[in-house]
Structure 1
Amino acid sequence: MTETDYRDTVFLPATAFPMRGDLPKREPALLARWEAMGLDDRLREAEEGRRRFTLHDGPPYANGHLHIGHALNKILKDVINRAHRMAGYAVRYVPGWDCHGLPIEWRIEEQYRKAGRDKDQVPVLQFRAECRAYAQHWLDIQAQEFRRLGVQGDWAHRYATMDFASEAIIAGEIGKFLLNGSLYRGLRPVMWSPVEKTALAEAEIEYHDHTSTTIWVAFPVVHDTTPGHLLAEARAVIWTTTPWTMPGNRAIAYGPDIAYAVIEVREGGEACLVGPGNRLLVAADLAAVFASTVGIASYDVLHTLPGTDLAGVLCAHPLRGRGYEHEVPMLAGDFVTTDQGTGLVHMAPAHGEEDFAITTAHGIAVPETVLDDGRYAEHVPMFAGVHVFKASDPVAEALTAAGGLVHRGTLVHSYPHSWRSRAPVIYRATPQWFIRMDGETDIRGRALAALETVDFVPAQARNRLTSMVAGRPDWCISRQRAWGVPIAVFVERATGEVLRDPEVMQRVVEAFRSEGADAWYASPPQRFLGNDRDPADYEQVFDIVDVWFESGSTHNFVLGSDDLPFPADLYLEGSDQHRGWFQSSLLEAVGARGAAPYRALVTNGFVLDEQGRKMSKSLGNVTAPQDVNDTLGADILRLWVMNSDTNEDLRIGKEILKQQGELYRRLRNTLRWLLGALDGFHDGERVEFAELPELERWVLHRLAECGSQVARAVQTHDWVGVYPALHGFCASDLSAFYFDIRKDALYCDAPASVRRRAARTVLDHLHRCLTSWLAPVLVFTAEEAWIARFGEGSSVHLQDFPEIPAHWHDAELADRWASLRAVRRLVTTEIETARRNGSIGSSLQAAIELPFSEREAATFAGIDWEELAIVSKAGIEVQPDAASIYLDPQPGEGAPTHRAPKVTLAPGSKCARCWKVLEEVGSHEAHPALCLRCVAVVEGMAA
């Protein structure tokens, strides 16, 4: 028999599982397979009677293709859901969509503008129908894109905020706040978009650098109440970055703990607007900086006085005599500092929260000077019809003419913009609908108490949400738009009181349930008010509710049944949702149901490009999930998510995805080698645990450690580091160590040998465990690897995670093998050195001699070093008087002295079948090219 003939006697791996993933082609085929086999229905059947786990889906917005942030969030949710299902839970995941609100309305208006149509001329029901069709179009597209990512869910029963049933529930939730007294209409300053003509929530705001005109303005003191009348002929100077708010000024705030100075200008600079003799009031600590900034060359400090002396002082508006005849009182404000400006703050109650609070507390009326489109109202003297964003010049010119402008400059600073239009926003006081945070219902206090029972991942997120809830103002829930659920209430014209009638609300809810919220626009008011009231006596409110209230109500769409109990076990969204959905859901649920809607909150970071920049089309650094699916496959994207620290911001790009591709190939090759080495494996081969060699028991210990890590992640919802650890186990412990060592036994031992059977027993455990643990992430690849072994009728997604026997954990064995591997690394280093210098060709040509101390020889007794080092011959040289050579020294011993193992050529000839170099090769007459082990196997096969 020739050497070539012996190749047929080697048990080489055999599997149909291909080396190349070819995921863009295979993944759609697997999706079709799952559809054909009714996998979702089979999952539901298999979960009967199990304890339930519910992750309530935060609704993405239905207005475009999915971006990479969507993919990150949905994949993370899917991994958690799948892992819980495989850990023994019943999981029904209901995906949802946010379909109302400004972004969709804005898109329809854009279409109108391009077509030259006037939105205000379009009937509201027609406009709403176009918004609904647009949202439905993108909802359908996004659903398919999510499914292409491998996300499993009850897609047939998804929820959407624009469903009739949802709109009815939202109206009913508004009604609960109406009836318990929490809902009220009030005039307060809110973030307002002049471009979109609506109030905005904080979560709809983003901050960009903006160049603002700054002005220093002098207010003449007309009523001096200071001891000694120190402010005679003085003017109080304010500094502001919003000149357009000057027509709305109604007060000046001072700091009661700040010292102030009256300075008299001795000499003005060339560009100074205040001449000698002018007396100005500013904070004493800021006097020098102020003088330098506004161009005052020299001045005298006439008086200093404490802030408390300014109580009762009245000023005139700098435009008095030009339509601004009201007095401007000086009011104490704890928020006033000397960080910048003059230490005196201009108060325009319609255009700032602190301004509003301090002036209304003193009974000062709030003027409405700015219209919804950003123009001054017709009754505003001097500036009627001017847009506030173009008001800096006319305001400054008017102040100059009146002698009130002290200085003008510019400032680049972070300024709020609408996230949709990208246009700057303003604070504007308008009548809005609010939910009261404090008072009798004490939503704030109950929400903070509820948060104490919620688990947070990461833990530090708790502080962020609790501080936001503790410090937030009343919740403004009204928007002045058309596409959404109306705040379906009536206000009595005679009294201004909102109608709080349960029967009216019930009629509204019933109408919405059958016809949708369009019923509010299509029906006469009498339908809702009933026959006992005259519609002429009531104002019908057409403001729509904030989309954050809608999405915060979604737990009412989904949760509350035996199948999906309230509260949810988990909410999972991006870290920005502490000010968005996490908060609105909490406040809505606490206010309406008295409890938080979630037991745990998990947040993920944002996705940046490889340089850490925000993605934008203009930079050309956008990574679209659809492109990754088409070029690399969804499993690569899913692996990227789970190999990242999702608690922090993540990065993605071509190079990072290329790295993920390499990690994927290692995992795939691990599965492929397992499948090949398990070819033909059957239960009759199994070896009981007690009979397993030490190496196999060590592998099972490592498997148990990985299993514990997976189980801990299931319970804590914290998956950071789990899959990198699994990859490390596959690459380091298996491919580079265990598989390498056991190839000889698997390929060359007789099928009946205990060593080969033991290895195949462990490989069976490895395949089942790894394929199951990888299934939540590599949903397509794990299915492929399962089918390759168990056939087309099976699915890994119908499996539970394997039960890990407690006796697999063996810490003492792990410590022993940590030492063994440390010695082995020294051996393989010497073998590699011998290969590089030409002393040997491969490790099987080597013979090694290991110098051991007596303690090491005893510790490593029973180890087959030929097998462990993958050499043909190994010997131990015991040095009786030596301290530890490899192990840490015992107390009293000296430091270990690492003596290198000796590597030489092994004596004998190379076996044509196993390639070991042994002196026994040639001793068998019938098979002179084989070692005796291989002779026995070959003859056994022949027999």
Structure 2
Amino acid sequence: MLTWDCLYFQPSFTPSAPRSETRSYGATSAPRYRVREGPEPLSPRGQPGSRQQPAAQGGEEPRYRHSVLLPRSRFPAQLPGRLQPQTELETQQKCGFSELYSWQRQRKAKQEFCLHDGPPYANGDPHVGHALNKILKDITNRFHMMRGYKVHYVPGWDCHGLPIELKALSEAKGTANLSPMEIRQKAREFAERAIEKQKSAFIRWGIMADWANCYRTFDGKYEANQLKVFYKMYDKGFIYRDYKPVFWSPSTNTALAEAELEYNEQHVSRSVYMKFPLLKPPPKLASVLDGSSPASVLVWTTQPWTVPANEAICYMPDSAYSIVKCTTTGEYFILAADRVESSAAALDTQFEVISTCKGADLADGSCAHPTIPDKVSPLLPANHVTMTKGTGLVHTAPAHGMEDYNVASHHQLPMDCLVDEGGLFTEAAGPELQKKNVLEEGNEAVIQMLQTAGSLLKEEKYVHSYPYDWRTKKPMIIRASKQWFVNTASIKATAQEALKKVKVVPTSAVNRMLEMLDRRTFWCISRQRSWGVPIPVFYQKDTGECLINSESVTNIIKIVEQQGTDAWWTLPIEQLLSKEALTKAGGHDTSDYVKGQDVLDIWFDSGTSWAHVLEDAEQRADVYLEGKDQLGGWFQSSLLTSVATRKKAPYKTLVVHGFTLGEKGEKMSKSIGNVVDPDVVINGGEDHTKDPPYGADVLRWWVAESNVFTEVLIGPVVLNAARDDINKLRNTLRFILGNIDGFNPETDAVPATEMYVIDQYMLHLLQDYGSKVTEAYKQYDYSKVVRLLQAFCSRNLSNFYFSIIKDRLYCEAEEDPKRRSCQTVLAEALDIVVRSFAPILPHLAEEVFQYLPYKKDSEGVFRSGWIKASSGWKKPGTEEAIEGACAIRDSFLGSISGKNALEYEVVIVIEPGLLFELMEVLQAEESSSVSQLNEIMMASQTTLLSEFPKETPTDANIIKGTFLINLEGGDIREESAYEVIVLPTAKAKCPRCRRYTSQSSSTPCPRCMNVLAGKGSG
């Protein structure tokens, strides 16, 4: 702990004034020096806030101790242990955190700022990913609220879907025979519990919202609005029902969208090389394939279980194909010319090329199906065939592949699916395969059938990327079924144009989203589960024909608004299907129809949130802010539904952040032990030496200081650094609070025009700082805000300004205008700095305001607005005067190599010109120990001359330098030379101010004598 002597003695050297980023002038001669960052601590002895001096050596009280105005504040420099989280909770209570959102909604404001909350999933405890997202949103909202906007922010939760249903069922016993309503009830209860846990955490983090009025996707009104969007899209032809292959999860018995998949890069498939015997040789190859030797097409697949569903073999028309002879068996094979060598190697044989042809020459040929007698597989052209692996001939099963389905649609091939919802072969697959799991024993059975038929040439394990269900972590299959789809192909062009008008931060993210949209041809929105919003469709029992019209949907929406979507399962069809709807559809009796059992994809659930949350049907949110995974998720589903129904994006700006990782860049895992729990970060773990309580502001600082547009690292090292940064900031704030004790801006403030030039310069820097911070907030660049804050507090305040003004603060008379001048600046600096970090550290900001020696009835930081820096603080010449003086000071300090600057006198010699005139502003008399120039020099005395003195002591140290003045945007440029003569001071140290300005070490200097006389003290 530093003693109060540190506050008396000026440091041996200090860094120069901060350089303006836009200036080109500066000293060319002096080196830079590093000093300890941060101001000295306050009141290290005695009671908190006492104005005490240290005891003299030997225990005697210093004679002038009572006359020095040392800092006084009860604001703590640190809040160790449990004090930090406890203080934050007290601050939340005292400062009305819970009422802040409602207060700002009720005030009059010219503009509204709408940040639409992407709903977190209600399926688990709050984690650091939630913290990253919610805190970023809160920083954004608090900034705009302080700037006078009426913030519109309604928190929400995504409550339906398979993950919640699975977790709810995993908690229950005997779930095999549960009814849909029983499943729905358990899922709802699980989601409600998760919401309460997450909500409590968000409130603790200081997230500003009306937490009594959130949106949940299982609320009746939300579901009703969702069904309105569904019908609008259906009515416009964007939604349709069709039979086509989709990603299917046998482990959960439902279709899934691409956004619900994850890819296992180490999946092992049982790949096979097999032959399809030629039944009818292609006419153009008849002369080569004359039937004298058996000939087949050579095919490779990683999914043998799909072979029973084969309907064709596809080739690439423009590629070259070879007819080869196997040197081992004498058989003829057809395969791509580029794949001859690799295929022969894989089969451990040699191929002799007999002839080569174009793929188009394979037209009109056909093959025998390898496992189904009498079934023909034609050879067909297709552009999806590649030459990168396999044989260049693709086994085509329309029920199990997207491209296969397109080929079948073009050539009117059968698309029968031989696999049921559980991933088992159906009766139509034949007795050898029926009821066998296609990914397990069914796959083995097909391989054995190929072996028996003599069609299997080789089987081997193949490691490759394969889609898995994102929740069960089990393999998917592609399976044809009747599903509901959004025809994204007809929307995406409009969606892409709308997206190009949206501001995206970072800009690189927009290209990824445009590419994702471009690849998307349809969106499967139906799910075969119970926990979700039902697709409001009835089916004719005999024909399966759909019944959906404006009357049927209007009736269902009315019921859902009042009762929620549970009514779809609890009410009889007679109440759901209105007579008007039945009549319009040409039906006769509700008993001819059944309710559909499909529910809507949760991406459709959340993607229609704009229809519920935005107050005006035509409104667009100012910002959507989510993680990068939402480029293919919520950002995209929201865009597609809004463009389809309103022909515009639901947002003006997208902000895209990265994921959270351990501090070494690894994924968080319980097995690794690097999972960071936000609650433990705030309140500490069981062992505080291992997991100390940091409080919520450390979590918020971590978010703000990180480059959130890439992956965001967190761990003990990162959190400790964040706490240290905040403590440094607290130290700076404490120094200011201690030195404005007894100061009231309303009565004691000094007008800027009457201030010391160094004080005016600090106002100039404050104005510049406020502008840059404001712009960084506007650009969502909160890490830049933190960098600006740290640089300003450390470099401009602690290391520069505080060290210069300590003498004025401590040793001038309490009400002296010179002292009031720098107190005015300190008060402005405190106000601007605190407001600048308030959106990031709301607890600290409000805590500081509680320790203000004035504004006892202050309305707090957030209710009193944003930074109020005056543009009048930027004065021409002020910056040049101070930075010129600091350049000269750098030369002086560099010459004394770390010694006490107060032990020297300086003589500054500058030829007449701009620089000399600027220095004259700081020191009108030739020599002074109390001038503004001497204060900056921090010497015992400064002399300013326009020509070199005729006599100079032999022990004088002379330094030369130059300073470039650049005024009015370069119109005035002048490089001035200067010389600094450094002399040991001849005077004694003043017993009061500790400066070498006294005639005797027992007698105060003239300045201190005047101060003491003014107080009537001897």
TM-score of the pair, normalised by structure 2? 0.84
Give, as a single letter, the amino acid of the residue that structure 2 aligns with 1:314.
S
Q: Are the counterparts in 1 of residues 540 and 594 from structure 2 also a CA contact under 8 Å?
A: yes
Q: Distance in 2 between matches of 1:759 and 1:543?
A: 72
Question: What is the Cα deviation at residue 388 of structure 1?
Answer: 2.1
1:779 matched to 2:842: yes
Q: Are the counterparts in 2 of residues 234 and 262 from structure 1 also a CA contact under 8 Å?
A: no
Question: What is the Cα deviation at residue 495 of structure 1?
Answer: 5.0
Q: Give the structure, 1 or 2, with the largest relative contact order (CA under 8 Å, sep 6 or more).
A: 2
Q: Distance in 2 between matches of 1:900 and 1:217?
A: 92
Residue from 779, 794, 798 that aligns with 1:735: 798
Larger deviation: 880-889 or 913-922?
Answer: 880-889
SS at match of 1:551: helix
Partner of 2:33: none
Partner of 1:384: 434
1:590 matched to 2:655: no
**1:881-892 paired onto structure 2 within 5 Å:** 885-887=961-963
1:517 matched to 2:565: yes
Q: Are the counterparts in 1 of residues 156 and 215 from structure 2 also a CA contact under 8 Å?
A: yes
Give, as a single letter, the amino acid of the residue that structure 2 aligns with 1:645.
N
**1:186-335 paired onto structure 2 within 5 Å:** 186-209=242-265, 210-229=267-286, 230-231=288-289, 233-266=294-327, 275-296=328-349, 298-321=350-373, 325-335=374-384
Partner of 2:865: 800
Question: What is the Cα deviation at residue 861 of structure 1?
Answer: 2.1
SS at match of 1:796: coil
1:66 matched to 2:126: yes
Deviations 1:830-880 (A, max 9, x none): 54x34xxxxx4x443344566878879638624555422433244679898
Give, as a single letter, the amino acid of the residue that structure 1 aligns with 2:873.
W
Partner of 1:272: none
Q: Are the counterparts in 1 of residues 160 and 602 from structure 2 also a CA contact under 8 Å?
A: yes
The verdict on how the C-alpha distance between 1:363 and 1:806 changes in structure 2, with shifts beyond 3 A counting, is same
TM-score of the pair, normalised by structure 1? 0.91
Q: Distance in 1 between matches of 2:787 and 2:909?
A: 36
Q: Are the counterparts in 2 of residues 853 and 885 from structure 1 also a CA contact under 8 Å?
A: no
Question: What is the Cα deviation at residue 777 of structure 1?
Answer: 0.7
Residue from 560, 569, 591 that aligns with 1:536: 591
Residue from 464, 471, 484 that aligns with 2:532: 484
SS at match of 1:482: coil
Partner of 1:29: 90
The verdict on how the C-alpha distance between 1:766 and 1:403 changes in structure 2, with shifts beyond 3 A counting, is same
Q: Are the counterparts in 1 of residues 535 and 600 from structure 2 also a CA contact under 8 Å?
A: yes
Deviations 1:750-775 (A, max 9, x none): 23433322211111111111111111
Question: What is the Cα deviation at residue 492 of structure 1?
Answer: 3.3
Q: Distance in 1 between matches of 2:875 and 2:357?
A: 78
Partner of 1:642: 704
The verdict on how the C-alpha distance between 1:668 and 1:402 changes in structure 2, with shifts beyond 3 A counting, is same
Question: What is the Cα deviation at residue 535 of structure 1?
Answer: 2.1
Partner of 2:6: none
Q: Distance in 1 between matches of 2:397 and 2:979?
A: 82
The verdict on how the C-alpha distance between 1:902 and 1:186 changes in structure 2, with shifts beyond 3 A counting, is farther
Partner of 1:938: 1012
Q: Are the counterparts in 2 of residues 239 and 345 from structure 1 also a CA contact under 8 Å?
A: yes
Partner of 1:18: 76
Q: Distance in 1 between matches of 2:299 and 2:942?
A: 89
The verdict on how the C-alpha distance between 1:932 and 1:393 changes in structure 2, with shifts beyond 3 A counting, is same
Q: Are the counterparts in 1 of residues 169 and 186 from structure 2 also a CA contact under 8 Å?
A: no
Q: Distance in 2 between matches of 1:190 and 1:71?
A: 35
Partner of 1:625: 678
Partner of 1:161: 217
Question: What is the Cα deviation at residue 525 of structure 1?
Answer: 1.0
Q: Distance in 2 between matches of 1:740 and 1:421?
A: 62
Give, as a single letter, the amino acid of the residue that structure 2 aligns with 1:702.
L
Deviations 1:204-237 (A, max 9, x none): 2222222222222222222222424245533222
Larger deviation: 144-153 or 221-230?
Answer: 221-230
Partner of 2:500: 452
The verdict on how the C-alpha distance between 1:852 and 1:523 changes in structure 2, with shifts beyond 3 A counting, is same
Q: Are the counterparts in 2 of residues 434 and 475 from structure 1 also a CA contact under 8 Å?
A: yes
Give, as a single letter, the amino acid of the residue that structure 2 aligns with 1:477.
I
Q: Distance in 2 between matches of 1:854 and 1:386?
A: 100
Partner of 2:689: none
Partner of 2:7: none
1:685 matched to 2:748: yes
Give, as a single letter, the amino acid of the residue that structure 2 aligns with 1:647.
F
Q: Distance in 2 between matches of 1:37 and 1:403?
A: 75
Q: Distance in 1 between matches of 2:215 and 2:729?
A: 36
Question: What is the Cα deviation at residue 443 of structure 1?
Answer: 2.3
SS at match of 1:662: helix
Q: Distance in 2 between matches of 1:36 and 1:448?
A: 40
Q: Are the counterparts in 2 of residues 263 and 301 from structure 1 also a CA contact under 8 Å?
A: yes
Aligned length: 905
Q: Distance in 2 between matches of 1:565 and 1:659?
A: 46
Question: What is the Cα deviation at residue 181 of structure 1?
Answer: 2.9
Give, as a single letter, the amino acid of the residue that structure 2 aligns with 1:351.
H
Q: Are the counterparts in 1 of residues 905 and 939 from structure 2 also a CA contact under 8 Å?
A: yes
Larger deviation: 907-916 or 809-818?
Answer: 809-818
Question: What is the Cα deviation at residue 152 of structure 1?
Answer: 0.5
Q: Distance in 1 between matches of 2:209 and 2:98?
A: 16
Q: Distance in 2 between matches of 1:465 and 1:816?
A: 52
Question: What is the Cα deviation at residue 821 of structure 1?
Answer: 4.5
Question: What is the Cα deviation at residue 240 of structure 1?
Answer: 2.0
Question: What is the Cα deviation at residue 53 of structure 1?
Answer: 0.5
**1:467-482 paired onto structure 2 within 5 Å:** 467-482=515-530
Q: Distance in 1 between matches of 2:795 and 2:324?
A: 76
Partner of 1:602: 655
Q: Are the counterparts in 2 of residues 703 and 766 from structure 1 also a CA contact under 8 Å?
A: yes
Partner of 1:124: 180
Q: Distance in 2 between matches of 1:397 and 1:226?
A: 33
Give, as a single letter, the amino acid of the residue that structure 2 aligns with 1:193.
S
Give, as a single letter, the amino acid of the residue that structure 1 aligns with 2:104.
L
Residue from 712, 735, 753 that aligns with 2:775: 712
SS at match of 1:190: strand
Partner of 1:148: 204
Give, as a single letter, the amino acid of the residue that structure 2 aligns with 1:197.
N
Give, as a single letter, the amino acid of the residue that structure 1 aligns with 2:652.
R
SS at match of 1:379: helix
Partner of 1:269: none
Give, as a single letter, the amino acid of the residue that structure 2 aligns with 1:936.
N
SS at match of 1:740: helix
Question: What is the Cα deviation at residue 607 of structure 1?
Answer: 0.8
Q: Distance in 1 between matches of 2:448 and 2:97?
A: 75
Q: Are the counterparts in 2 of residues 748 and 934 from structure 1 also a CA contact under 8 Å?
A: yes
Give, as a single letter, the amino acid of the residue that structure 2 aligns with 1:867.
E
Question: What is the Cα deviation at residue 802 of structure 1?
Answer: 2.7
Q: Are the counterparts in 2 of residues 457 and 718 from structure 1 also a CA contact under 8 Å?
A: no
Residue from 170, 195, 201 that aligns with 1:139: 195
SS at match of 2:810: helix
Deviations 1:675-702 (A, max 9, x none): 1111121222222222233322322222
The verdict on how the C-alpha distance between 1:518 and 1:811 changes in structure 2, with shifts beyond 3 A counting, is farther
1:107 matched to 2:167: yes
Larger deviation: 180-189 or 615-624?
Answer: 180-189
Q: Are the counterparts in 2 of residues 261 and 305 from structure 1 also a CA contact under 8 Å?
A: yes
The verdict on how the C-alpha distance between 1:491 and 1:519 changes in structure 2, with shifts beyond 3 A counting, is same
Q: Distance in 1 between matches of 2:591 and 2:799?
A: 83
Q: Distance in 1 between matches of 2:875 and 2:439?
A: 72
Q: Distance in 2 between matches of 1:780 and 1:753?
A: 35
The verdict on how the C-alpha distance between 1:404 and 1:808 changes in structure 2, with shifts beyond 3 A counting, is farther
Q: Distance in 2 between matches of 1:916 and 1:615?
A: 57
Q: Distance in 2 between matches of 1:611 and 1:810?
A: 48
Partner of 1:270: none
Residue from 410, 424, 445 that aligns with 1:394: 445
